[in-house]
Structure 1
Amino acid sequence: MQQSEQWTSRLGFILAAAGSAIGLGAIWKFPYVAGTGGGGAFFLIFILFTVLIGLPLLLGEFVIGRNTQKEAVSAYAAIAPHTAWPWIGRLGVITCFILLSFYSVVGGWILLYLFRSATGQLFKVGGGYEALFGQVISNSWLTVGAQLVFMLLTVIVVARGVQNGIEKANKYMMPGLFILFIAIIIRSVTLDGAWAGVTFFLKPDFTKLTSETVLYAMGQSFFSLSVGVSVMVTYSSYLSKKESLPRSAVSIVVMNLLISLLAGLAIFPATFSLGMKPEAGPGLLFMVLPAVFEHIPFGQLFLTAFLVLFLFATLTSAFSMLEIIVASLTKGVQEKRVRASWIAGLLIFAAGVPSALSFGILSDVKLFDKSIFDAADFLVSNILMPLGALLIAVFVPLKMKRAVLLEEMSAGSSTGARLFAGWLFLLRYITPVAIVIVFLNVLHII
């Protein structure tokens, strides 16, 4: 049974799927996890994980979604009825709920910075941009209010559906973001002392690699492609049988790696030039960008434009997270979409309030020696997503017939048939073994 909604084109699907990760995964999160992970060595490990593990998993989710034409939970139930396997979809829904609860906080930060930039309150602040970031995130009322506005924007778009909401928004947001990124990089690499940042980012120093860094690189590769949470199962269920899954997957991986590269080249040269620390954490982007734009003619105008596009890109990530939850609630019944979107959105907002307050009135509250925000981030990126990815890697070869897999890989392209054996080998043997080895190493079992 075909979904009642479909992407209008392959480009629309690719932009939406890429946008799912690029907003927060590549632009906000990648620079600071790469910074804390040692730069070049982290980037290299991240590329390897993305190509050898993330790409096969992405294709695995595509195959599940398009073959069943159902949202995440129902898709697993259709393939393996009366078993526990549908819990992979439920795990994805739970993970996206937690994920969006604290990433909507970051969306709120962007809104606050956008307001300051548009009103001329961002440049030449007393105490510097690091102090400004601390002031912004510690204001409890402002952060919670901004988080609420961000969630309202997300709900409004998702409630409109796939074609009129998610797809249409991405077609305008993503190209503009690429263009502004290039402008930032040109300025960043021409600052005094910028080359040290380029070297830090592109020259691997394997002495800085630890087992935990490798785990973070694996978690980032999953997050950057939105795999392991069955978002791509839901997104691909709206995809026509005429489209090539391998071409779509490779396009998304290339776009994601390119944006990650651009993000690193935009942030690290400026970080070193301005005397900031690359391991500054979640606030790195918010500290570096204003300082870069301050040194550019018409900097306030460009910074405001970038923050608008960054907000759009962040929203594309939020759309995908909310969509998997809404789709699992509506089961394809479009009449339920609006109500389900609002209920889910408001519940996610409420769950995210502690994360919004974890830099303010709840700053002394620690979970496993981490703030509420950081604990939620660690749980999702380094435990739930790799666990979901492991289960998907086991599920596809075990529960789906080889003929069905070959048919989905071959539809719309002859390339898929040629790549089929290599893809299935990676998914069946390399992907699960790599995930287990990294986890055991972190737990110091091996």
Structure 2
Amino acid sequence: MQKKTDQWSSKLGFILSSAGAAIGLGAIWKFPYMTGMNGGGAFFLLFIGFTIIIGLPLLIAEFIIGRGAQKEAVSAYKALAPKSSWPIVGQLGVFGAFVLMSFYSVVGGWVLIYSAMSIPGLIIKDSANYEQLFATITGNPGITILGHALFMIINIVVISFGIKNGIEKASKLLMPLLFVFFIILVIRSVTFDGAMEGLAFFLQPDFSKVTGESVLYALGQSFFSLAVGISVMVTYSSYLKKDVSLPMSAGSVSIMNIFVSLLAGLAIFPIVFSFGLEPAEGPGLLFMVLPEAFAQMPFGELFLSLFLLLFLFAVLTSSFSMLEIITSAFTVKKDRSRTKIAWIAGIIVFIAGIPAALSSSSLANFKLFGLTVFDASDFLVSNIILPVGCLLIAIFIGFRMDKTLVKQEFSNGHSLSNGTYQLWFQLIRWLVPITIIIVFLGSLGII
């Protein structure tokens, strides 16, 4: 395969950037409220199980496809399965990234607005009713669209600089800082009165609360939080050198993702129960809980500002991957300017995301299948596109891609045994697709 001219400068840069793609809204924003709405500890265990036996094998599979082809998502399938219909998997990934980015950037805009407000202390000083503050911000069309626009502009600028000078540099700086401040928040949150009740809710599984829908959501969360199913990791791994171990890299990303999800639960649920809040608050949980915690801390305004800024950076590293897969799909030809394509793609995503941005205000009463545009977009990506994409990727690796190339890419850069390869290959060929099909059909009420 033709070597790409743009590559990660180091294994660490690739892992941190891939972790950044995975660790964002999925782990820090969506995981806590999904856990709260689906019974707590039982959901967390399901999420860990799905991440290990389904998400990790799929992440390795996407890495193998990308580096094996040395091409972005759509071209990778064309190179590995020429004159076939398999490139539709990459096209589905680009479409999924487009839809995901359209509402993801809305939440990114909320984080951006909160970050800006926290710097002069407006959140803690001027509002004791954090639920009302969140409703006011998300219910204001002008504010939400402005946040959405600014968030997209930041993404466009970084993507314009490319892999090494844009995405990698940002990830190397911001991801370690996020871990440090997350741990500080956890240490503070578990010292609140009533914190143990929140820890019990999060860490003690109650399987009586598990439903078919919650199993589907746990599976979808494992896809969403690892950024698999939309071929983002196919594109990222296409920039990777051949001497890096794909299984080891995927394992590092998965462990970091589970760890951040654990930190998110440990940070948020003790606070939720300490202040008598409802764990099933929904998407606004993080924005109403964090100010409560920091308001009780010495130098709370400073810590809230720093954490929101770092959270913003984590959200950005995730969104970079989505805009990158869209941009790279249209910059295959060298005569196309990356900067120009990034701006065009970003503007189109911004326009497409306006209905989601207005879902809590002007379009609050507009429903698609009983859901707001924001929630419908989330459901489409998390519960349909991601599972279908993951299923097709598993089938492609298991039955279509050249087995010699698959094993070669799996084996490069490490000394794992042949048994390890065979275990992974059987998982990706049989268990992963069967599990996805069963859970998917169960969610539709077919079985």
Q: Is TM-score (shorter-chain normalized) higher than 0.5?
A: yes
Aligned equivalent of 2:174: 173
1:274 aligns with 2:268: no
Q: For the structure 1 residues 251 and 229, does the alpha-carbon distance in structure 2 shift closer, same or farther, using more than 3 Å as the test?
A: same
Question: 1:4 deviation in Å?
Answer: 1.1
Do 1:246 and 1:415's aligned partners in 2 also have CA atoms closer than 8 Å? no
Aligned equivalent of 1:138: 139
| CA distance in 2 between partners of 1:281 and 1:423 (Å) | 35
Q: For the structure 1 residues 334 and 238, does the alpha-carbon distance in structure 2 shift closer, same or farther, using more than 3 Å as the test?
A: farther
Aligned equivalent of 2:207: 206
Q: Secondary structure at the match of 2:4?
A: coil
| CA distance in 2 between partners of 1:102 and 1:119 (Å) | 28
Aligned equivalent of 2:297: 296
Which amino acid letter does the alignment assign opposite residue 284 of structure 1?
L
Deviations 1:279-336 (A, max 9, x none): 1111100000000000110000011001111111000011000000111000163752
Question: 1:112 deviation in Å?
Answer: 1.0
Q: Secondary structure at the match of 1:370?
A: coil
Aligned equivalent of 1:346: 347
Aligned equivalent of 2:334: 333
Aligned equivalent of 2:56: 55
| CA distance in 2 between partners of 1:331 and 1:274 (Å) | 52
Question: 1:45 deviation in Å?
Answer: 0.4
1:378 aligns with 2:379: yes
Q: For the structure 1 residues 334 and 425, does the alpha-carbon distance in structure 2 shift closer, same or farther, using more than 3 Å as the test?
A: farther
Question: 1:147 deviation in Å?
Answer: 0.6
Question: 1:417 deviation in Å?
Answer: 3.8
Question: 1:390 deviation in Å?
Answer: 0.3
Structure 1: runs of 5+ lacking an equivalent: none
Q: For the structure 1 residues 413 and 191, does the alpha-carbon distance in structure 2 shift closer, same or farther, using more than 3 Å as the test?
A: same
Per the normalisation by structure 2, the TM-score is 0.98
Q: Which moved more, 1:326-335 or 1:208-217?
A: 326-335
| CA distance in 2 between partners of 1:335 and 1:266 (Å) | 45
| CA distance in 2 between partners of 1:144 and 1:54 (Å) | 33
Structure 2: runs of 5+ lacking an equivalent: none
| CA distance in 2 between partners of 1:320 and 1:440 (Å) | 29
Aligned equivalent of 1:443: 444
Aligned equivalent of 1:312: 313
Which amino acid letter does the alignment assign opposite residue 271 of structure 2?
A
Question: 1:24 deviation in Å?
Answer: 1.0
Which amino acid letter does the alignment assign opposite residue 197 of structure 2?
A
Q: For the structure 1 residues 332 and 200, does the alpha-carbon distance in structure 2 shift closer, same or farther, using more than 3 Å as the test?
A: farther
Do 1:406 and 1:417's aligned partners in 2 also have CA atoms closer than 8 Å? no
Q: Which moved more, 1:414-423 or 1:319-328?
A: 414-423
| CA distance in 2 between partners of 1:304 and 1:416 (Å) | 47
Aligned equivalent of 1:190: 191
Do 1:4 and 1:332's aligned partners in 2 also have CA atoms closer than 8 Å? no
Aligned equivalent of 1:323: 324
| CA distance in 1 between partners of 2:443 and 2:320 (Å) | 32
Do 1:41 and 1:204's aligned partners in 2 also have CA atoms closer than 8 Å? yes
Aligned equivalent of 1:74: 75
Question: 1:268 deviation in Å?
Answer: 0.6
Aligned equivalent of 2:434: 433
Do 1:409 and 1:416's aligned partners in 2 also have CA atoms closer than 8 Å? no
1:3 aligns with 2:7: no
Deviations 1:248-279 (A, max 9, x none): 01000000000000000011110111111111
Question: 1:84 deviation in Å?
Answer: 0.9
| CA distance in 2 between partners of 1:340 and 1:126 (Å) | 42
Which amino acid letter does the alignment assign opposite residue 163 of structure 1?
K
Q: Which moved more, 1:143-152 or 1:396-405?
A: 396-405
Deviations 1:363-403 (A, max 9, x none): 11111111111110011001100000000000112111221
Q: Secondary structure at the match of 1:122?
A: helix
Aligned equivalent of 1:119: 120
| CA distance in 2 between partners of 1:64 and 1:75 (Å) | 7
Question: 1:444 deviation in Å?
Answer: 2.0
Question: 1:414 deviation in Å?
Answer: 1.1
Which amino acid letter does the alignment assign opposite residue 403 of structure 1?
T
Over 6 Å off, 4+ runs: none
Q: Which moved more, 1:325-334 or 1:160-169?
A: 325-334
Q: Which moved more, 1:239-248 or 1:119-128?
A: 119-128
Question: 1:212 deviation in Å?
Answer: 0.6
Deviations 1:2-58 (A, max 9, x none): 111010011100000010021111011110111111110000000010000001111
Q: For the structure 1 residues 175 and 258, does the alpha-carbon distance in structure 2 shift closer, same or farther, using more than 3 Å as the test?
A: same
Q: Which moved more, 1:408-417 or 1:184-193?
A: 408-417
Q: Secondary structure at the match of 1:415?
A: coil
Do 1:73 and 1:90's aligned partners in 2 also have CA atoms closer than 8 Å? yes
Do 1:409 and 1:417's aligned partners in 2 also have CA atoms closer than 8 Å? no
Aligned equivalent of 1:412: 413
Which amino acid letter does the alignment assign opposite residue 308 of structure 1?
L
| CA distance in 1 between partners of 2:327 and 2:18 (Å) | 17
| CA distance in 2 between partners of 1:361 and 1:225 (Å) | 33
| CA distance in 2 between partners of 1:416 and 1:124 (Å) | 58
Query: Among the aligned pairs, what percent are the same residue?
Result: 56
Aligned equivalent of 2:396: 395
Deviations 1:173-192 (A, max 9, x none): 00100010011111111111
| CA distance in 2 between partners of 1:28 and 1:332 (Å) | 37
Q: Secondary structure at the match of 1:123?
A: helix
| CA distance in 2 between partners of 1:391 and 1:241 (Å) | 25
Q: What is the Cα-based RMSD across aligned positions, in Å?
A: 1.0
Q: For the structure 1 residues 293 and 263, does the alpha-carbon distance in structure 2 shift closer, same or farther, using more than 3 Å as the test?
A: same
